[in-house]
Homo-oligomer: A and B are copies of this chain.
């Protein structure tokens, strides 16, 4: 029997642990939500326990595993196997999560950030299969890219390559990012930026149907809020979707100029803003790229589905140096 892959998707709200085969099919999974209030050692224990439970449920020994791949929503030092920092859990400052988890198992444990994991998932099992080079762009709470060059993930010196969200695309913008800088893509187009972008839009004179409602707070503005706003004809919501799509299109264009890839896949929760958002991103991209595009480029939504984080984490176990 061919070995199986174990994927761990360690997110800000959800912990998913799954068994995946070499073809990228999810065979079984366990999803829990009780890790978020724990500190490092507590999270570690839950992850290790869930992996063991999953194996037990399937009457399997650990030796059936090719390895365990962990995708973490946070800043990762891949080479050292450390979570540098994450805004999603308590603690986790330079925490050697990989080695601590490795101590609980005899099969190899690998760990990376969720963007790289998802990138590798699309490369092994999804729409990027067969490409030597491609870029995966996550549009979510944050914004980042995963970089496949010559069939390998490019992680950089520390392992923090692909921080597209922190690149500056509007140097004179007053919009501040959580990193402290102004005019980063993250401050202009990410899920995290939505309250501030909505507020700025309203202050610039575009009408909001909601701002006078009792209990309204700009902090409530998220993807779901905007979707409802657009559906109800809220002018500010429509303007915000167009604005974040504009900056995302600029980010996509910058990625094109730097990497000249044949394929850019988009993933992440913001895509639930729908066709008008995705189409506006592409419209901006093509309006900038014009005659500088000499060969066609595919810009597509990655359809790895709701388990893309798990599949990506599992795919990491198949990476060869």
Residues of A within 8 A of B (CB): 77, 84, 133, 145, 147, 149-150, 152, 154-164, 166-173, 179-181, 183, 246-247, 250, 253-254, 257-262, 288, 290, 292, 294-295, 297
Q: How far is the CA of A255 from the CA of B250 in the complex (A)?
A: 16
B290 touches A180 (CB 8 A): yes
Partner of A254, one of B145, B168, B253, B262: B168
Instruction: Given A167-B257, A171-B170, A250-B168, answer yes or no on A154-B159 (Cβ-Cβ < 8 Å).
Output: no
A156 touches B260 (CB 8 A): yes
Partner of A163, one of B154, B247, B258: B258
- Chosen A-B contacts, 27 in total, with CB atoms closer than 8 Å, are A133-B154, A133-B157, A149-B149, A149-B154, A150-B150, A150-B152, A157-B261, A158-B295, A159-B260, A161-B259, A162-B258, A162-B260, A164-B257, A166-B257, A166-B292, A167-B253, A168-B250, A169-B170, A169-B171, A171-B246, A171-B250, A172-B172, A172-B173, A179-B290, A179-B292, A254-B254, A258-B258
Closest chain B residue to A77 by CB distance? Answer: B294
- Min Cβ gap A270→B in Å is 19
* Copies, count: 2
- Min Cβ gap A129→B in Å is 17
Q: How far is the CA of A201 from the CA of B181 in the complex (A)?
A: 24
Q: How far is the CA of A157 from the CA of B256 in the complex (A)?
A: 10
A170 touches B167 (CB 8 A): no
Residues in chain B near residue A170, CB distance under 8 A: 169-172, 183
Residues in chain B near residue A259, CB distance under 8 A: 154, 156, 161
Q: How far is the CA of A254 from the CA of B165 in the complex (A)?
A: 10
A168 touches B295 (CB 8 A): no
Q: Which 5 A-B pairs have the closest CB atoms?
A: A156-B260, A161-B260, A167-B254, A163-B257, A157-B262
18 other A-B residue contacts (CB within 8 Å) besides A157-B297, A166-B292: A149-B150, A149-B154, A154-B259, A156-B260, A157-B261, A158-B260, A160-B292, A160-B294, A162-B260, A163-B292, A164-B257, A164-B258, A169-B170, A170-B170, A179-B292, A180-B290, A181-B288, A258-B258
